[in-house]
C-alpha cells in the first residue's frame, strides 16, 4: 500500500479496501463562504468542469480529471487548511477552480446537460486514478497553454522536481494564447516600473522564460514582470523603439506540468489520456485507488 494513501485513508478512520464510495471532502466555496460536502469524485467532476473547456476531446478531459484528482488528493494528504475547516477550496490561487452542476448550467446555457454528461464520463472512466512518481502522489501542476515548450520546476521555482521537466509540446498552437502581442508606450512603462526608456532581460531559462529583467531602474523576477505588465506568461521576447516596447508572449500560465491545450491537441491526434499524462509528467505511473 502506498504510504500517502494509507495516511489518507487512516485519517478518515477507514481501511482502503473496505471503501466502496470515494472519500468525502469539504470544499470551501468563496462566493457563499460556505462549505460544500462532496465525495472526492463529485469534486473532481466540478473541477474538470471549471478548469477545462467542456468542448475539449474526451481523452483531454480524462487527462484533466486524473490531474485534478491527484492535485486534490495531495492537498488532502498534506492536510491543507482552508477557511471554515475546509480541506479544499475553489480559490484558484491556492487550489483549483470548481463549479457545481447549477453553476455549470448557468455558464453554459446551451447543451449544458450533454457537456456535463461528457465530463462525468471522463471522470467515471478514470475513477480513482492518480499519478504517482516513485510511489508518491505527484504535484500535478497544469496550465492553459505552454506555447511550445513547458517550463521545468527548476526554472520556475529553483527546485528540481524529477517529473516536472521542460518538455516539447507541439500540440497547443490552436490556443488563442499560443502567441500574444502587447504594446506599451514608454509612458505606460514608466507608470508601471518607474521613469526611463530601457528594458533588458538579465536572465532567461533554457525554455526561453524570463527569470530576471531590468525595466528602467527596476530589477525584477520574471513572475513579477508578468504580474506588473499583466502578461499571459513569462516567456516573452521584447523589442523597443522610440515610442515604446512591444512584448510578444508565448503561452498562458506558469507553463509547468500538463499543457491543457496541448492535451487537447494530442487527443485530436488520437492519443489517449495515459499517453498525454506520460508526455507532460515524465517517468510517472498511474495508480487506481481502491474505491
**Shortest distance (Å) from residue 216 CB to Zn ion:** 32
| Beta-bridge mates of residue 37 | 26
**Shortest distance (Å) from residue 217 CB to Zn ion:** 35
Distance CA 236, CA 208 (A): 7
Find out whether 166 and 150 touch, Cβ atoms under 8 Å. yes
Q: 170 vs 194, which CB is nearer to Zn ion?
A: 170
Find out whether 145 and 260 touch, Cβ atoms under 8 Å. yes
Q: 76 vs 172, which CB is nearer to Zn ion?
A: 172
Sequence-distant (≥ 6) Cβ neighbours of residue 172 within 8 angstroms = 145, 146, 147, 148, 178, 251, 259, 261, 262, 264, 265
Q: 48 vs 256, which CB is nearer to Zn ion?
A: 256
Q: 26 vs 274, which CB is nearer to Zn ion?
A: 274
Task: List residues binding Zn ion (CB under 5 A).
Answer: 146, 169, 172, 259, 262
Find out whether 137 and 70 touch, Cβ atoms under 8 Å. yes
**Shortest distance (Å) from residue 172 CB to Zn ion:** 3
**Shortest distance (Å) from residue 168 CB to Zn ion:** 9
Q: 138 vs 169, which CB is nearer to Zn ion?
A: 169
Distance CA 262, CA 52 (A): 12
Sequence-distant (≥ 6) Cβ neighbours of residue 176 within 8 angstroms = none
**Shortest distance (Å) from residue 284 CB to Zn ion:** 18
Phi-psi region of 196 (alpha: psi -120 to 50; beta: other; left: phi over 0): left
**Shortest distance (Å) from residue 263 CB to Zn ion:** 8
Q: 126 vs 175, which CB is nearer to Zn ion?
A: 175
Coil/strand/helix, residue 202: strand
Hey, how many other C-beta atoms are within 10 angstroms of the C-beta on 39? 14
Amino acid at each position: 500500500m502506498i504510504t500517502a494513501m494509507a495516511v489518507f485513508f487512516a485519517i478518515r478512520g477507514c481501511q482502503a479496501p473496505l471503501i466502496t464510495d470515494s472519500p468525502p471532502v469539504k470544499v470551501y466555496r468563496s462566493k457563499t463562504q460556505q462549505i460544500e460536502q462532496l465525495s472526492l469524485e463529485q469534486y473532481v467532476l466540478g473541477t474538470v468542469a471549471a478548469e477545462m473547456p467542456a468542448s475539449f476531446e474526451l481523452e483531454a478531459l480524462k487527462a484533466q480529471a486524473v490531474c485534478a484528482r491527484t492535485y486534490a488528493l495531495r492537498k488532502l494528504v498534506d492536510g491543507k487548511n482552508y477557511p471554515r475547516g475546509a480541506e479544499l477550496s475553489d480559490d484558484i490561487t491556492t487550489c483549483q477552480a470548481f463549479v457545481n452542476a447549477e453553476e455549470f448550467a448557468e455558464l453554459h446555457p446551451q447543451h449544458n446537460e450533454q457537456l456535463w454528461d461528457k465530463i462525468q464520463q471522463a471522470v467515471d472512466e478514470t475513477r480513482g486514478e492518480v499519478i504517482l512518481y516513485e510511489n508518491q502522489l505527484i504535484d500535478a501542476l497544469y496550465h492553459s497553454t505552454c506555447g511550445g515548450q513547458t517550463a521545468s520546476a527548476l526554472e520556475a521555482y529553483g527546485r528540481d522536481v524529477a517529473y516536472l521537466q521542460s518538455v516539447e509540446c507541439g500540440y497547443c498552437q490552436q490556443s488563442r494564447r499560443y502567441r500574444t502581442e502587447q504594446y506599451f508606450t514608454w509612458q505606460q512603462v514608466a507608470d508601471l516600473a518607474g521613469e526611463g526608456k530601457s528594458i533588458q532581460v538579465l536572465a532567461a531559462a533554457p525554455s526561453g522564460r524570463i527569470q530576471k529583467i531590468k525595466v528602467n531602474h527596476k530589477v525584477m523576477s520574471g513572475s513579477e514582470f508578468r504580474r506588473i505588465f499583466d502578461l499571459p506568461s513569462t516567456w516573452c521576447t521584447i523589442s523597443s523603439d522610440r515610442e515604446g516596447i512591444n512584448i510578444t508572449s508565448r503561452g498562458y500560465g506558469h507553463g509547468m506540468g500538463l499543457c491543457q491545450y496541448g492535451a487537447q491537441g494530442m487527443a485530436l491526434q488520437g492519443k489517449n489520456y495515459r499517453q498525454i499524462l506520460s508526455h507532460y509528467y515524465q517517468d510517472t505511473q498511474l495508480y487506481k485507488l481502491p474505491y
